[in-house]
Structure 1
């Protein structure tokens, strides 16, 4: 064992970082290939709505319900942005920007109440 590294503390965040890295490399390549820069920010902001909503409903903070709601919101946001690409390809960038702003505004409004 290495006396300088406590793997019981460093191990779980390291594994979580590898998991995030494995998913974000693919997303990043797709974003750069398509030239759609703000799509990842819009999906992240929509996922934030999925974290705030369970808190507003009184669900336990940090529970599996909150994680499931955030995941469901992110997947719904990704499907929404995919539908923008499919049905309105010329307006896609503007619709992504609008989605980001609406999700950010909705998060602020829900947090304020």
Structure 2
């Protein structure tokens, strides 16, 4: 009973993380800008690194949000104005990660902080942290379901990338950059390659099952939670995609 009381916020947060990230993940894959989320997450983490290294953790959310929104606006502009936009976004990611390493080089706990920024431990999330994230994710999902589909042009691009920036700002602080990337892409990829169900609904189910298994395994085997989430969700997604492709190829040969 005590274990349930201790761990339930982590499992609920895990489901919320899957819920909000797959909304963006399906759209990102369809757009063909896979590294968008990773670049925004990495640039957002610069704000966290600056806060921890120089301000004793003060203004962490404000700095993270400022860098995330800046990256989102740059990418929104680039998608309409830059050729080979994936290369541009890849360079933005490289700039972000190198900036973090330079900032953390000034911190005595640089590598430990970098590991936390990459994949944090959500296993012992408090209920207060859960409620704070829920208060961010739910309004964002409402915007994406009801406002985003009704807009066009640059307004639509800005809504998408700024909502993604707000999501990443919260998620990077809670889970880490690489966990955010895995949750954005892996469940959505599985949802898109199958044709039987709505991609978003399938991604929600697939991602929720994957992350619950990852948390359970992390707790029972005493493994790093963030990297367990990345490993399980990515592995399950890859296996599912390979299975669907092999099955599709066999069906075509038999016809």
Partner deviation per Cα, 1:7-38 (whole Å, 9 max, x = no partner): 32112112221221122101210111011121
- TM-score normalised according to structure 1 size: 0.80
Q: Pick from 34, 38, 60: which aligns with 2:35?
A: 38
Q: Which residue of 2 aligns with 1:69?
A: 63
Unaligned 5+ runs, structure 2: 107-255
* Distance in 2 separating the partners of 1:15 and 1:72: 27
Aligned-pair Cα RMSD in Å? 1.8
- Count matched residues: 106
Partner deviation per Cα, 1:67-97 (whole Å, 9 max, x = no partner): 3322332222122211111222x23111101
- Report if the CA contact (8 A) 1:59-1:66 is conserved: no
Q: 1:49 Cα deviation (Å)?
A: 0.6
Is 1:108 the counterpart of 2:132? The answer is no
Q: Which residue of 1 aligns with 2:164?
A: none
* Distance in 2 separating the partners of 1:21 and 1:71: 20
In our comparison, the structure showing a higher alpha carbon Rg is 2
Is 1:57 the counterpart of 2:54? The answer is yes
* Distance in 1 separating the partners of 2:16 and 2:48: 20
* Distance in 2 separating the partners of 1:85 and 1:39: 10
Q: 1:54 Cα deviation (Å)?
A: 0.8
Q: Which residue of 1 aligns with 2:219?
A: none
Q: Partner of 1:37: helix, strand, or coil?
A: coil
Q: Partner of 2:84: helix, strand, or coil?
A: helix
